[in-house]
Structure 1
Amino acid sequence: MAIGTGKTVVVFGGSGFLGRYVTRALASRGHRIRVACRRPDLAYHLQTNGNMGQIMPVQANLRYRWSVDRAVVGADHVINLVGILAESGRQNFEAVQSFGARAVAAAAREVGASMTQISAIGADASSDSAYARTKAAGEQAVLETIPDAFIIRPSIVFGAEDQFFNRFAEMARFSPVLPLIGGGRTRFQPVYVGDVAEAIAATVDGVVAGGRAYELGGPEILTFREMMEEMLDVIGRRRRFVTIPFGAAASMARAMRFLPGAPLTEDQVRQLRRDNVVSQQAIAEGRDLAAFGLKGHTIDAILPTYLIRFRPQGQFTTPQPQAGGLRPDDKEFV
């Protein structure tokens, strides 16, 4: 791995799932990392990703511009990882993903730092999903402020701490059925968190050109159902699937919207109506994972490394062949 130039890199949202891998990738390149987050006291675990003094947590909140300005003082490059999947109180899509992205970009420009903005495949200013619209607004705000900024759009990101495969594997421990919104036909291109982190770190070293949006997807395109079947195979459990039409799912989400930590929102149902894969245009223009010299890890290679704890007897269980599928005499609920 090439060693970087020892830049000072500020990572907003660096204490989260993706952030821990990004800080590790940056540290391995010799950069100095400042992790800007709302609760720096919960980010000290990141210091083991680098040498002593190489990684330093600092307090910052995207809703308060002065804290953002303070965090980027002396920075050479700024990375914004902050994003939310569901709104909660003052943490709404507009404040975090649009206003917040513009604040980070403006602060980076004032200190002369370059920038990488993490968005998502599906970001679209005309989308009926508030998540997708504000992701697009964040991209626009960053590029208007720093025209040569890097935009990274991953598909669904998986890894040891993810909230996707872990959540459904946990559900499979107790529930005899798993839900498939819209029949589970929505297509995804799951990308390993370590590959996304390497791509982000590469932007700091100028491996690719700025001012462009890069779409990151893994080597496989799978439907939601196929991902569930892969997960069940890994954990050695057999479960039936319940198809929930989009309309019914939206009604359920509306009924649950006042519950704390609701498992499903109406906005997420809207997102599930659209495939989440790398576009053919991005592939043709060299704006995919290959642009970073990465092939990507398959879920078969990674899921067993962290989902074995969900097997009936943990790591000592030998998964049964086709554990995730249905037997010929099984019936799927619709």
Structure 2
Amino acid sequence: MQSIIVEQELLFSFADGLPWPVIVISGDGHVIRVTRDIPGLEDAHQTNERSNLAALFPEYFSILRGSVRWLVPQEAELTRQLTNGIVHERIILCRVLTGAFLIIQDQTWLRTLEISNVQTARLAALGFMVAGVCHEVSNPLTSIYSIVQILRSDEKKESGFLDKGLKSIATNVTRLLGISRRLLNFGRVGDEQRSTFPVDEAIKEAFVIIRQDAGAQDVSLEFEPDPDAVIFGSINQMQQVFVNIFDNAIQAMRGVGKLSVKTLRSDGERITVWICDTGPGISEEALPRLFEPFFTTKQTSRGSGLGLTISHEILREHNGLIEAKNNADAGACFCVDLPLYKGNP
């Protein structure tokens, strides 16, 4: 009994000395101490009752992995909605003696900086798409203008031309609105609404956006979707991830080739998206540095070297991973790994 008391005192002393809120967990999964107030969960700090971690902190418990999840060392990212805003947290679980510490690091300030970087990359990407966007917009505008000119003219129109003309105008206006909506969604940042969605939706939207780049017109897409590959997160951010990867591949292929994308559920817990191109591959020197900030193999006029870095950060925030390797045949492959949504965001 004396050894248990000494062990708890050591745990408490160590936990109290850390600059972040620490949830001290016993070996059987009960919370025995909370060292500091956690935003939105202040009442938990005041509890004197041994409560199960799952009951007292269900949001933290739900993102932990493992059969005895409160004893498996791990890290995760969590975004929580509070009454006065959103808090972004890094969760670190480490074994200490026979129990564990769940350390809660508030990284909202860091997330604010990341949002600024994401916005910069999005605006840069939009700038590269201008030529393609002008082409996409000019076609429906030309069609609308031609129909309006005919309708205004005095020449005799065949029966039903008015209805056909109005339908054509409506179709082309819808096309224009679609282009506008995609660009607005791509450039939007800050709201970061999170929800469940098939990851293939983000992939399809990303490819539509990248098609606006004049340099992507001769790239074909081979896509094997998995409609049940659902994740929880920000669809705009995931769209950004795939736009960055696609753009990287298209530049490597110099605008001509094939982009193969395959989505699959790997083990009932994770989703894997394979993105392979038919380009020259990645040099051995560049491969380990691909996700470093400002590292780029492109011409300086084509990129800032932030795209893949930001994709890496977005995926990390979604408890995901990204890896790159060279294909055995030819070209490069990117592997995006994400947690499968199973009902507990």
Common fold: TM-score over 0.5: no
Which structure features the higher share of strand residues? Answer: 2
Larger radius of gyration: 2
Higher relative contact order (CA 8 A, sep 6+): 1
TM-score normalised by length of structure 2: 0.23
